[in-house]
Chains A and B, each alone.
Chain A
Amino acid sequence: MSRCPGEGFPVVPLLALDTLWFQVAGTLCNLRCTHCFISCSPHNHSHVMLSLSTVRRYLREALALGVKEYYFTGGEPFMNREIFPILEETLLQGPATVLTNGLFLDARRCARLRKLDDGSEYSLDLRISLDGWGPDDHDAIRGPGTFERALDGIRRLWSAGLNPVITVTELAEGVASQAGRERFLLWMRSIGLSKPRLKTLSLFRMGAEERRQRGYHSWERLDGSVRVDPEGLQCGSGRMVTSQGVFVCPILIDEPSARMGEALGETLRPFSLAYPSCYTCHVQGVTCRT
């Protein structure tokens, strides 16, 4: 959608810049998930990878602004050759979470991650995405063999002494209900995660997902009369750094008008919820944070 934000939409102030996201792998990914809201793929160069020097520049600014936590996503963050020094520098000043499909988590990388975690007073979290209860669901979205390979990555992390958060989309049958969630936690225990950590995520009807199922209906918008809670919306406390500058949130990086500036200091102003995906965040209480 290319509609510009303007009058007639709820406006969300940035209460404080607590959460800083990095589109560290740009839109480059080894997979081509059919529900990806920014259509990442091996050939999507809309946003390119962030270099260590770029991340360092924003970390310096974040330090001065008192940012609380850092998230790294893509694309696939472990395709970025500088991801380890990036994480190492980040963990000197705050907690870090990496969102990954788990396919690059071989024993050597898991050991390096464990070493990074041991060396920091702040938490290092890995979040691995699954799209169902088994290969049938997951591989249909992510490609043949990806479920088993993700599971291998999860097990290697666990063996290295790291307890990843499993992120599962609402595509996993029943997982949005309390009973389904309990069932998924049990399943996680059955694969060896004795202290299971689970996050469920809603789908955004944009990018590849718009082609897979459908886009937003015309009525799926927020108008100015809707009362929104800035504390409950990620645009009320976070921003996203990409190779194209700083965007309001991780969802809207393909919307030119959601780019708020080049430096973090330019992006501390309020934001209009003019996009259909804002409807999802508001109605379903979605946050990309763990």
Chain B
Amino acid sequence: MDARIAVFGGVYSNYLALEQACRDALARGAEALFCLGDLGAFGPHPERVFPVLERFGVQTIMGNYEESLWLRRSDCHCGYTDPKDNHFAQLSYEYTALHTSDAAKDWMGTLSRSLRLDFGDRRLLMAHGSPRRINEFLWHSTSPAPFLSRMLDDYTADLLLVTHTGLHWHRSLPGGRDVVNVGAVGRPANNGRVQVHYALLTWCGELRVEFIPVDYDHHLLAREMREEKIPLEFVETILTGWWTTCLEILPAKERASSRH
């Protein structure tokens, strides 16, 4: 039987893009919507994300942001190793923590860390960073097929969906298995375009993976970010499509194609 789902990566408080992505996915015939976590960061008004998730019935799992907010940690446990990356991550986290209610933080603790379902003849597994670590970065150029195959073996899955890096990719593995990083719906993909992306998965006897670009009112988001005194580096990313922070974590190939 044919099936179609939409999967959103890091929202990063970009409730405007999330809403557009939900509408777009439903218009394309998605029967279920999923979000892989990191609802906050970068953007303004983190609590505006929750009503969108509820209105569109988006099934959400826990990202490192939700885990940290729920546990009332002092930082996001994003997994950066560079001090400058951590500096900007800390600014994002403190803003998000300050503007997220205790009730919402408690709700985040109820989210599951992974989600399994059957999708066509595939055993589908969703996780935030990876099934083994919530803040693991799975980049395209440093996640080779043998490594991903081992991960699928370890977690008895045929199709793995993750986010956390903010960059979308799809790798087909031997034996008819696949790993998809769904990218981020909250931040452009460091490609000089202001659209954000989500993953649309279709089962029609075989798996089809599409990354759907989404236009939204990014000028409005940028204005709200400025009003909230969010670092201008983050605003620039929204307006230009190029990342200005968290670049040190990028592997060589991904960094080569970035502007900064």
Contact = CB atoms under 8 A, between A and B. Distances in A.
Contact of A69 (B142, B145, B255): B142
Contact of B147 (A18, A123, A181): A18
Contacts of B112: none
Contact of A195 (B146, B150, B247): B247
A203 B151 CA distance: 34
A125 B252 contact: yes
A53 interface: no
Given A66-B147, A122-B141, A178 B83 contact: yes
Given A65-B150, A66-B147, A67-B146, A123 B84 contact: no
Which 6 pairs show the lowest CB-CB distances between chains A and B? A66-B150, A94-B144, A123-B141, A123-B252, A68-B147, A123-B251
Contacts of B256: 161, 163
B83 A181 contact: yes
B133 interface: yes
B149 interface: yes
A125 B140 CA distance: 15
A94 B147 contact: yes
Given A66-B147, A124-B252, 12 more contacts: A16-B132, A66-B149, A66-B150, A68-B143, A69-B142, A93-B145, A94-B146, A122-B144, A125-B252, A161-B256, A197-B255, A198-B248
A68 B260 contact: no
18 contacts: A16-B132, A65-B150, A66-B147, A66-B148, A66-B149, A66-B151, A67-B147, A68-B143, A69-B142, A93-B145, A95-B141, A95-B251, A117-B253, A122-B141, A123-B142, A178-B87, A195-B255, A195-B260
Given A66-B146, A68-B143, A231 B133 contact: yes
A59 to B, nearest CB: 10
Size range of the interface on B?
Answer: 20 to 34
Contacts of A94: 142, 144, 146-147
A93 B22 CA distance: 37
A63 interface: yes
Interface in B220-260: 247-248, 251-256, 258, 260
A176 B256 CA distance: 26
Contacts of A197: 248, 255
A233 to B, nearest CB: 14
Contacts of B146: 62-67, 93-94
Nearest to A95: B142
Given A163-B256, A195-B258, A195-B260, A93 B248 contact: no
Interface of A: 16, 18, 62-69, 93-95, 117, 121-125, 161-163, 178, 181-182, 195, 197-198, 231
B213 to A, nearest CB: 23
Nearest to A161: B256
A93 B260 contact: no
Nearest to B133: A231
A64 B145 CA distance: 11
A195 B141 CA distance: 18
B143 to A, nearest CB: 7
A62 B150 CA distance: 11
Interface string B130-161: 00110000001111111111110100000000
Nearest to B143: A68
A79 B84 CA distance: 35
A67 B142 CA distance: 11
Contact of A163 (B147, B151, B255): B255
Nearest to A289: B81
Indicate the member of B83, B144, B148, B150 with the most A CB atoms within 10 Å. Answer: B144
A67 B143 CA distance: 10
A162 B83 CA distance: 24
Contacts of B143: 68
Contacts of A198: 248
A62 B144 CA distance: 12
Contacts of A231: 133
Contacts of A195: 247, 255, 258, 260
A121 B252 contact: no
Contacts of B251: 95, 123, 125
